[in-house]
A = this chain, B = another copy of it.
Amino acid sequence: MKLYSKLAALIPTLICVLSYAQTTPPSVIEDFKPSELNQPGQEYPMVNSQGYARFRIVAPAADSVKVSLGLGGRGGTRLTKGADGVWTGTTEGPMDEGFHYYHINIDGGTFNDPGTLNYYGSTRWESGIEIPAHDKDFYALRNVPHGNVQQVLFPSPTTNTSRRAFVYTPPGYEKDSKKKYPVLYLQHGWGEDETAWSNQGHANLIMDNLIADKKIEPFIIVMTYGMTNQMRFGGGLRSFKVDTFQTVLVDELIPFIDANFRTIGKQSHRAMAGLSMGGMETHSITLNKPDVFAYYALLSGGTYTPEEIKDKSKVKLVFLSCGSKERPDGIKNAATALTGAGYNAVSFVSDNTAHEFLTWRRSLYQLAPLLFKDK
């Protein structure tokens, strides 16, 4: 009886330990390696095979160092100071595969992690970290012919400046001076800019690999800045008006690209796609300008209804995608409704990802083979 009562007394402790073990996995595997987005020669941040991230920040006299990454909604990862004055910490759990933005809070101020490269998001250059995805080969730098990504500065009379775009030309573009190519106009999300699809998205490598594997016919991709209006800082999506950007894109950039690159400058060979806010832009502009684009793609960027589209005969493809941690039913139902109404509509849901770049890399990989089939 004495033993039994001792055991009984232990029960609350055991329950407590067990439930603690469930929320804080004890099995963090110590196989951490530098994130592949680190600055040259930098060891930290590190990532392990489970998707945990570990951070290391030197700030010996600081009182508090936090990392904005961790588990969603739980306020990130608080680092602790070692005897050497160096702050370290590991995320509470594994993170989604793919790319994540983050920053460091040091004594109440927001800074970037000096260990890693910066990526433009949230209207600032943020730190970036990459959790290797199990399917990462499709956007890897492989030993295949590579296309080029070039910066062009195009005149924009309506905004009274030279604006920047990046243009992906496929391998072989320079050699065969006769061949002409279809064009995909590909937009970033809110707070990002025209660097996002190359830097965070690896759009060029995705294309190089698809072309090397003969899964697509080569095409050109054009990426420009889409926050050409009052919503750029503050204001949010509610005050979004597409007019200014639509004019830059349709009346200034497209004619410039058609004049300076070997494009097939026809509606039938022109696509528009965008992620998140870029999807909102794509939605509005494709509907406003049915004679400009024939292929429409919204990546975590909403849906179309059959009723919105004025002339069905002009739409060769509607592609709708998102991550499985977003609202995949909305995408699927919209594609079903469009298909039922006679459209060529495709939905794609990225496994185990949210509103983040692995969703969009995978979406581009799925979208590209569907473009420009109908020649």
Q: Which of chain B's residues have a CB closer than 8 A to the CB of A124? A: 39, 114
CB distance from A299 to the nearest CB of B (A): 23
- Among A64, A146, A148, residue most surrounded by chain B Cβ atoms (within 10 Å): A148
Cross-chain contact B111 with A112 (CB below 8 angstroms): yes
Q: Which of B118, B123, B174, B175 touches A40 (beta carbons < 8 Å)?
A: B123
Contact partner of A150 among B62, B108, B150, CB < 8 A?
Answer: B150
For residue A117, which residues in chain B have a CB less than 8 angstroms away from its CB? Answer: 125
Instruction: Give every chain B residue within 8 A of A239 (Cβ-Cβ).
Output: none
Interface window among A52-60, A67-75, A275-283, A334-342: A52-60
Q: Is the CB of B40 within 8 A of A233?
A: yes
Instruction: Assess whether A365 is interfacial by the CB under 8 Å rule.
Output: no
Specify which of B57, B141, B151, B204 is in contact with A149 (CB 8 Å cutoff). Answer: B151
Q: Tell me the A39-55 residues at the B interface (CB within 8 Å).
A: 39-41
Q: Which residues of B contact A198 (CB under 8 A)?
A: 151
Bound Cα distance from A194 to B164, whole angstroms: 20
Query: Contact string, A130-163, partner B, CB cutoff 8 A, digits 1/0?
Result: 0000000000010100101111111100000010
Report whether A146 and B153 are in contact in the complex, using a CB–CB cutoff of 8 Å.
Answer: yes
**How big is the A interface, by class?**
35 or more
A38 CB → nearest B CB, Å: 11
- Min distance, Cβ A306 to any Cβ of chain B, angstroms: 39
B108 with A106: CB separation less than 8 A: no
Contacts A62-B62, A108-B85, A111-B111; A232 near B40 (Cβ below 8 A): yes
- A12 contacts across to B, CB distance below 8 A: none
A contacts, CB < 8 Å to B: 39-41, 57-64, 85, 104, 106-112, 114, 117-118, 123-125, 141, 143, 146, 148-155, 162, 167, 169, 174-175, 177, 198, 204, 232-233, 259-262
Instruction: Give 8 nearest A-B pairs by CB, closest first.
Output: A150-B150, A59-B109, A61-B107, A146-B153, A60-B108, A62-B107, A111-B111, A148-B150
